[in-house]
Amino acid sequence: MKKAILGLVVLVAFVAASALAGDYHTGGTLNCAECHVMHYSQTHGYEADGSGLMTDLGLTGPYHFLLRDEINNLCLACHDNQSFAPDVLADDGGIAPTNGRQAGALNRDNVAPYFDATGHTLGSELVAPGGTFQHTPGGLNCIDCHQQHGYGGFVAEGNNPYRNLLYSAGGVSGPGVSYAVGTRDATKDVYEVSAAEGGDHYDIQNVFFNEPTQTASGYGAWCKGCHTDFHGSSSDANMRVTGAPVSTQWLRHPTADADIGGAATGGHSDLAQLGAAAYRVQYMSSTGEWGTWGVAEAVTSTDLTPSCMTCHKAHGNTRAFGLIWATGAANYGENGDGTSYQVLCSQCHVQGG
């Protein structure tokens, strides 16, 4: 159900006032009124003169947990076509996502170019491929993946994960995706270069993936919560013929525990091939060798490993399966600059040139 969005005027102030670099909707930036309303009625805003309107109320309430709207609509009131928060749904001619969006775009309405087949579909009641997760009735929503309150201290798990992602996506208790902002911490899964919210906080050029454990991927393990069979290490039988020589005989594409160029012979992935790409796809590195954006340069690290973010946008984009068609020759944006998905493979593999 769609509804009119009327007066979201004061949110910029909240962003500006935010003290917690890298996090929003947690601790000091968890502003209850952005999402909850006490009586399903609100005549004026929170300033003494009545100004300062908050998120509009949906038309078919009251809603569970005193929410202002049904969950996807509630979140999209700010996260679609607004200037003060990342637009996460399609790109429907409203306010362009000026700061870039590492996660890409969700789809909902099966309208070109954001068809249902281009990534995660809000409201979908389908079973997650490779797993058993299914949100029925109701369909896929934001809090199947994100914790609405962040993890603000009272939760035993400890620090808030990257992008407030759930610790237990798909009901599977995971370690969560850890991160650090401003200063690289090689023990965390993600390094966000920009410490400031707003700005370029969500730009692909400012998000890098460490590899704290050489045999694992925090990001891949998180996706595995729903896509159970698609992730594991080289010694897991769902991924590889475990007795075969190192880095060979994969049964599913590696998403951890496989180094680019790690299989010495036989036409496997190749570091020289990767070095020829000026705009590389994202991969994990324990040494922080992600390349310089726009520069083709020799690769010296032998620890670079693909994972889900190498090939897919987490929310989706305009390509089938949310795949990133990145040739490596140009700034590829969220959809990729190529004309087919093969160009993505050619960043690491020599087959096809």
Q: Which is nearer to ligand HEC, 93 or 352 (CB)?
A: 352
- The yes or no reply on residue 114 touching ligand HEC (CB under 6 A) is no
Cα dihedral sign for 88, 93, 97, 101?
positive
Q: Which of 63, 230, 290, 332 binds ligand HEC (CB under 6 A)?
A: 230
Q: Which of 37, 55, 189, 216 binds ligand HEC (CB under 6 A)?
A: 55
Number of residues that bind ligand HEC (CB under 6 A): 103
Q: Among residue numbers 126 through 145, which ones bind ligand HEC (CB under 6 A)?
A: 126, 128-130, 133, 140, 142-145
Q: Which of 91, 189, 312, 328 binds ligand HEC (CB under 6 A)?
A: 312
Asked if 198 contacts 215 with a C-beta cutoff of 8 angstroms, the reply is: no
Q: Which of 117, 155, 264, 295 binds ligand HEC (CB under 6 A)?
A: 117
Which positions ≥6 away from 14 have C-beta within 8 Å?
29, 31, 34
- Give the shortest CB-68-to-ligand HEC separation in angstroms: 7
Which positions ≥6 away from 275 have C-beta within 8 Å?
296, 297, 298, 299
- Give the shortest CB-181-to-ligand HEC separation in angstroms: 9
Extract long-range pairs of 328-336: CB within 8 Å, 24+ residues apart: 328/276, 328/277, 328/278, 328/279, 328/280, 328/281, 328/296, 329/277, 329/278, 329/279, 330/278, 330/279, 331/279, 331/293, 331/294, 332/279, 334/100, 334/101, 334/104, 334/105, 334/204
Q: Among residue numbers 246 through 265, which ones bind ligand HEC (CB under 6 A)?
A: 247-250, 253-255, 258, 260, 262-263
Q: Among residue numbers 61 through 100, which ones bind ligand HEC (CB under 6 A)?
A: 65, 67, 71-72, 74-79, 84-86, 88
Place of tokens 């100004």: 51
- The yes or no reply on residue 325 touching ligand HEC (CB under 6 A) is no
* Cα-based distances in Å from 102 to 28, 163, 206: 24, 11, 9
- Give the shortest CB-330-to-ligand HEC separation in angstroms: 16
- The yes or no reply on residue 197 touching ligand HEC (CB under 6 A) is yes
Q: Which is nearer to ligand HEC, 50 or 87 (CB)?
A: 87
Q: Which is nearer to ligand HEC, 30 or 329 (CB)?
A: 30
Pull the structure tokens for residue 38: 């006490």
Q: Which is nearer to ligand HEC, 124 or 286 (CB)?
A: 124
- The yes or no reply on residue 23 touching ligand HEC (CB under 6 A) is yes
- The yes or no reply on residue 232 touching ligand HEC (CB under 6 A) is no
- Give the shortest CB-1-to-ligand HEC separation in angstroms: 14
Binding mask 24-43 for ligand HEC (x = CB under 6 A): xx----xxx-xxx-------
CA dist 335 and 281 (Å) reads 12
Binding mask 160-189 for ligand HEC (x = CB under 6 A): ---xxx---xx-------------------
- Give the shortest CB-168-to-ligand HEC separation in angstroms: 10
Q: Among residue numbers 289 through 308, which ones bind ligand HEC (CB under 6 A)?
A: 306-308
Extract long-range pairs of 75-82: CB within 8 Å, 24+ residues apart: 75/142, 77/5, 77/8, 78/8, 78/11, 78/34, 81/5, 82/8, 82/11
* Cα-based distances in Å from 306 to 113, 149, 275, 332, 340: 27, 31, 15, 18, 19
Binding mask 267-286 for ligand HEC (x = CB under 6 A): -xx-----------x-x---
Q: Among residue numbers 210 through 229, which ones bind ligand HEC (CB under 6 A)?
A: 220, 222-227
